[in-house]
């Protein structure tokens, strides 16, 4: 048999898997449908307290989605937020409840293959709840990849990168501890860029803390800060001027996400780059900032955009507008981190790298094979779908009873 015939046979086999083996009485194939969606709350302790402007975390709660289909394929997804309800309007408990009560019934019984139609169905019937929708979209992509024996990155257009740079967040709150932690990460060749979470203390305290770390690390590392919306505009003017003088490379979301006009003014006032995070959830927000004259970078997060597909739509808008990109995290575990990595790997360039370090912040994992972090970055997991398999024993151990 010729290689051409083999290719045709392979294509027919994949089509059969896509549509399933069950047939109507007429002989026509029946589409694969979503049969069951299960959610679990998983509580994993962090390796140290993680201090942000709005909360200090000692545990991270993941919402794990297991989506089973009529062809026997299971898709995995994850919905994760930061600090319960201190970061945004979705909590782990509400993510689980709203998937179980509102979103899962919209999907069960629907064809598995048409992900765009399922996204539209969720958005038509449920407002907001982007983290919950992202978890479900991830599970759909994972299942489709497994079904077709290709990676999620392939479904999204194919990879430009198999190894992505990853920074580390220094958020112990103690200056000397942060310095020692940074040097250890550098010596281990784990991370060479660092972000500091500030905004919980006075401007002078925060600037002094950041400046001391930058002075200690010198040119060995890039230092960025995330204020997490803690400042008003006048405070931001004073704080950013001092941070710029200290040699900080990037200022993330200094003011309230709703105050886009202030973000635009700050981006045009200073030479140091501004990073819009909470201010740019989706393409509509991105368009508003671009049309308003924002000069800076966009932080991409699949959770805030409602899934990898919308996050990539925002990325493409940013690229067309000359905005730089950064791959952000909600401190997800391995499943959510892998979903983001598959999306980011398809982009031609991410000028500010990524912060996909979430699994490294956790004491343990619920997957059979952890992500591979080395040489200041992380490897894109190989294999069909997300390339992730659950460790059932650890999942049971850490699941909330």
CATH number of the domain encompassing residue 196: 3.20.20.120
pLDDT in tens, the chain (401 residues): 444 445 545 545 555 555 444 445 556 678 999 999 999 999 999 998 888 777 888 999 999 999 999 999 999 999 999 988 988 999 999 999 999 999 999 999 999 999 999 999 999 999 999 999 999 999 999 999 999 999 999 999 999 999 999 999 998 889 999 999 999 999 999 999 999 999 999 999 999 999 999 999 999 999 999 999 999 999 999 999 999 999 999 999 999 999 999 999 999 999 999 999 999 999 999 999 999 999 999 999 999 999 999 999 999 999 999 999 999 999 999 999 999 999 999 999 999 999 999 999 999 999 999 999 999 999 999 999 999 999 999 999 999 99
Q: Which of these three, 122, 149, 176, is where a domain ends?
A: 149
Q: Sign of the CA dihedral 361, 364, 366, 367?
A: positive
CATH number of the domain encompassing residue 99: 3.30.390.10
Is 25 inside a domain boundary?
A: no
Identify whether residues 160 and 140 lie together within a single domain: no
Domain that holds residue 142: 31-149
Residue with tokens 């139609």: 117
Number of folded domains that form the chain: 2
Catalytic center residues: 197, 355
Q: Which helix (H) or strand (E) holds 193?
A: strand 193-197
3-state secondary structure of 266: helix
pTM of the model: 0.92
- How many angstroms separate the CA atoms of 100 and 118, rounded? 16
Strand 163-165 with 377-379, pairing: antiparallel
Q: Which of these three, 149, 166, 198, is where a domain ends?
A: 149
Torsion angle in degrees (nearest 10) through CA of 365, 368, 372, 378: -70
Is 177 inside a domain boundary?
A: yes
């Amino acid at each position: 048999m010729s290689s051409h015939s083999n290719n045709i046979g392979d294509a027919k086999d994949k089509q059969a898997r896509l549509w399933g083996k069950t047939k109507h009485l007429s002989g026509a194939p029946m589409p694969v449908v979503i049969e069951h969606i299960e959610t679990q709350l998983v509580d994993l302790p962090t390796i140290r307290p993680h201090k942000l402007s709005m909360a200090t975390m000692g545990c991270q709660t993941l919402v794990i989605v297991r989506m089973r289909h009529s062809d026997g394929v299971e898709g995995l997804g994850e919905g994760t937020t930061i600090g319960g309800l201190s970061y945004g309007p979705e909590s782990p408990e509400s993510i689980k409840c709203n998937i179980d009560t509102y979103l899962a019934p919209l999907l069960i019984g629907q064809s598995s293959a048409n992900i765009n139609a399922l996204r539209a169905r969720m958005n038509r019937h449920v407002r907001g709840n982007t983290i919950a929708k992202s978890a479900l979209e991830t599970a759909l992509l994972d299942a489709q990849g497994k079904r077709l024996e290709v990676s999620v990155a392939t479904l999204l257009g194919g990879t430009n990168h198999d190894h992505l740079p990853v920074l580390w967040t220094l958020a112990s709150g103690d200056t000397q501890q942060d310095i020692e932690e940074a040097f250890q990460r550098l010596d281990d060749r784990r991370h060479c860029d660092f972000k500091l979470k500030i905004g919980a203390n006075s401007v002078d305290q925060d600037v002094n803390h950041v400046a001391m770390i930058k002075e200690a690390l010198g040119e060995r590392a890039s230092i960025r800060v995330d204020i997490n919306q803690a400042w008003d505009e006048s405070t931001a003017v004073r704080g950013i001027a001092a941070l710029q003088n200290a040699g900080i490379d990037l200022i993330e979301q200094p003011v309230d996400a709703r105050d886009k006009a202030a973000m635009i003014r700050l981006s045009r006032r200073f030479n140091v780059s501004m990073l819009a995070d909470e201010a740019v959830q989706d393409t509509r927000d991105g368009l508003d900032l671009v049309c308003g004259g924002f000069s800076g970078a966009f932080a991409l997060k699949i959770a805030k955009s409602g899934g990898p597909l919308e996050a990539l739509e925002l990325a493409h808008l940013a690229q067309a507008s000359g905005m730089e990109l950064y791959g952000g995290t909600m401190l997800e575990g391995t499943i959510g981190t892998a979903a983001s990595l598959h999306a980011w790997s398809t982009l031609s360039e991410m000028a500010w790298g990524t912060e996909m370090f979430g699994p490294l912040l956790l004491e343990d994992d619920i997957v059979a094979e952890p992500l591979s972090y080395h040489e200041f970055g992380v490897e894109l997991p190989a294999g069909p779908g997300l390339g992730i398999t659950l460790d059932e024993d650890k999942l049971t151990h850490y699941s909330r009873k």
